[in-house]
Amino acid sequence: MSTPQRRAARPRPAHKHRGHSKADCLKILRGLSAYLDDDLAGNVCREIRKHLGACPNCEVFLASLRQTITLCRHVEPPPLSPAAKIRLRGQILKAAGR
């Protein structure tokens, strides 16, 4: 064993997509943004669930988002302030890789 094997550092996609593309992620994350406005249609909800089944990235993101929202609702009933919505929306778009 004198020659250390060099592994070619292949650039691997950080996000393995099965059956959907990054564009789908964007769409889903935008849907989540609408969710913040209580403006989420039932069919969008189904689409998000379907996507989450195949996309760990979005699933993890939604889990933390949902937890945050649940915590907020537990503490105080009033909805998110416009500033908070804008901030969250920015985080969502950032998570979508924009």
Binding mask 25-54 for Zn ion (x = CB under 5 A): x-----------------------------
Is 55 among the residues that bind Zn ion (CB under 5 A)?
yes
Number of neighbours of residue 46 by Cβ within 10 angstroms: 10
Q: Least separation, in Å, of the C-beta of 66 and Zn ion?
A: 15
Measured from the CB atom, is 7 or 18 closer to Zn ion? Answer: 18
Measured from the CB atom, is 25 or 32 closer to Zn ion? Answer: 25
**Of positions 58, 62, 92, 95, contacts Zn ion by CB under 5 A:** 58
Of 18-26, 41-49, 64-72, 79-87: span binding Zn ion (CB under 5 A): 18-26
Residues whose CB falls within 8 Å of the CB of residue 79, separated by 6 or more in sequence, listed in order: 38
Q: Tell me the C-alpha distance between 93 and 86, whole Å.
A: 11
Is 62 among the residues that bind Zn ion (CB under 5 A)?
no
Cα dist from 80 to 36, 61, 63, 77, 85, whole Å: 8, 18, 18, 9, 6
Q: Tell me the C-alpha distance between 97 and 89, whole Å.
A: 13
